[in-house]
């Protein structure tokens, strides 16, 4: 017998809300976290809007010691620690205070790139011959596993502590990795999630690729338009999402609150073959990922009440909905409710999947399907596949029981999770 796995804690540091309460209200009310940034205009970016968590008013000493904060210049670490420690606290768990670590708890916390600003600072110091001025924390701020290392030490976790990286699939993949570890009885609890740095050194490459919207610099809240006929590219974002996964037995033993259950999932790759490439998904692989996630969950495609898609507000949105339709064998009014939270806060890159998993699970708690924003003009190719009543523009009082959440990333990599309301 394998363990059942439930979610007992969540934390989020998102452009439209830091903390579960603010984040929930933003999703319920359709509030955008996308803003204009003069810095991007000064640097001659074509897209001068982005999604960035507002942490200026956050008392960082709640999350870091003075020693840890000294010289810390990695926004992804700030976001990840805020989300991770909030999730741990939300689960009713405490930091290990003894000499021995908690052998039953681990961390899988992903990132795409970490400490870019610190790395830039290091390059200048080295080039100017000031190696000794780098400081003792430059390595742990710029290594990819810096985020899991910080959290592992702060919480005293003695099980697996590691970092994964799979482009925009990172966060969703991290959840599935933690799920597998608990399911196979190698851990009782896993803090899972992902983070992404903010700023022009992360977002510049996408601006150079000309895949970001250029015509919304004076109207930032309208810039991110998933499933819309007027979608003009994805808005870059950043932040972190975190979830505490736990065996059902452990959660029941300590009387923990449960947000939902993970009943299955799948991770695969299209191998950059067929119509797949470094930047575009192989449609067959996407469909296989969804189909196999459903099979792994032991449910039927018709059991899915809602889909939280990857849906980035690019020309690939109609293709994604076509893949969902073919994988589920459902279309028109029979299609599940579908939403994308990227209209609210942009595409948070490596952090996208984990932030969106938090939002997906909140729909069970709120007994609602959150609406889509900037999608009044549904793309005509999507209208052919999905009845527009299933693409709600405002939060809808429909109580979901099973939700599929997927992410698709550069490198032709895919991940799909099936969440179920716990009762």
3-state secondary structure of 140: helix
CB atoms within 10 A of CB 291: 17
Using a 10 angstrom Cβ sphere, with 0-12 exposed, 13-18 middle and 19 or more buried, the burial of residue 42 is: exposed
413: β partners: 269, 409
Query: Is the Cα torsion angle 348, 351, 353, 354 positive or negative in sign?
Result: negative
CATH class of 5-253: alpha beta
Cβ distance 182 to 128 under 8 Å?
no
Mean pLDDT by 10 residues, the chain (423 residues): 96 98 98 98 98 95 92 93 98 89 97 90 82 80 94 97 98 98 98 97 96 98 98 98 98 98 98 96 98 98 98 97 98 98 98 98 98 98 98 98 98 98 94
Rounded Cα distance, 293 and 205, in Å = 32
Domain ranges of the chain: 5-253, 264-420
Helix pair 317-328, 283-297: axis angle to 10 deg: 40
Cβ distance 48 to 236 under 8 Å?
no
Cα dihedral 121, 81, 259, 247, rounded to 10, equals 110
CA-based radius of gyration for the chain: 20
pLDDT value for 90: 98
User: What φ, ψ does residue 180 adopt, rounded to 5°?
Assistant: -65, -40
Fold agreement (5-253, 264-420): yes
Nearest residue to 314 (alpha-carbon basis) of 357, 291, 285, 343: 343
- In the CATH scheme, what architecture does the domain 264-420 have? 3-Layer(aba) Sandwich (3.40)
pLDDT value for 118: 83
Which residue do the tokens 């925009």 mark? 168
């Amino acid at each position: 017998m394998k363990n059942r796995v439930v979610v007992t804690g969540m934390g989020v540091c998102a452009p439209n809300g830091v903390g579960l309460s603010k984040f929930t209200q933003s999703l319920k009310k359709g509030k955008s976290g996308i803003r204009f940034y003069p810095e991007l205009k000064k640097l001659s970016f074509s897209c001068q809007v982005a999604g960035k968590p507002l942490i200026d008013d956050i008392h960082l000493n709640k999350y870091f010691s003075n020693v840890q904060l000294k010289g810390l210049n990695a926004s992804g670490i700030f976001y990840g620690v805020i989300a991770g420690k909030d999730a741990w606290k939300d689960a009713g768990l405490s930091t290990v205070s003894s000499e021995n670590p908690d052998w039953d708890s681990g961390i899988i916390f992903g990132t795409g790139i970490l400490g870019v600003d610190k790395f830039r600072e290091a390059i200048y110091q080295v080039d100017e011959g000031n190696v000794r001025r780098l400081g003792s924390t430059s390595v742990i701020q710029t290594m990819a596993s810096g985020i899991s290392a910080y959290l592992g030490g702060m919480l005293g976790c003695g099980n697996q502590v590691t970092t994964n990286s799979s482009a925009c699939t990172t966060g969703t993949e991290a959840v599935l990795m933690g799920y597998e570890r608990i399911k196979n009885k190698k851990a009782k609890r896993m803090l899972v999630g992902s983070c992404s740095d903010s700023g022009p050194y992360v977002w510049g490459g996408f601006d150079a690729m000309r895949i970001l919207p250029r015509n919304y610099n004076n109207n930032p809240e309208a810039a991110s338009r998933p499933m819309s006929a007027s979608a003009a590219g994805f808005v870059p974002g950043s932040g972190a999402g975190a979830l505490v996964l736990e065996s059902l037995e452990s959660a029941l033993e300590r009387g923990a609150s449960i947000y939902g259950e993970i009943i299955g999932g799948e991770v695969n790759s299209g191998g950059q073959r067929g119509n797949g490439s470094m930047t575009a998904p192989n449609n067959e692989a996407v469909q296989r990922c969804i189909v196999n996630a459903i099979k792994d969950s032991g449910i039927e495609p018709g059991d899915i009440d809602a889909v939280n898609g990857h849906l980035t507000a690019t020309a690939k949105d109609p293709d994604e909905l076509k893949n969902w339709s073919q994988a589920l064998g459902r279309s028109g009014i029979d299609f599940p409710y579908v939403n994308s939270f990227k209209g609210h806060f942009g595409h948070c890159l490596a952090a996208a999947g984990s932030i969106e998993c938090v939002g997906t699970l909140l729909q069970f708690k709120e007994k609602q399907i959150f609406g889509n924003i900037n999608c009044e003009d549904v793309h005509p190719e999507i209208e052919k596949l999905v009845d527009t009543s299933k693409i709600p523009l405002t939060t809808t009082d429909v109580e979901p029981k099973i939700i599929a959440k997927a992410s698709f990333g550069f490198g032709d990599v895919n991940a799909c999770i099936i969440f179920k309301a716990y009762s």
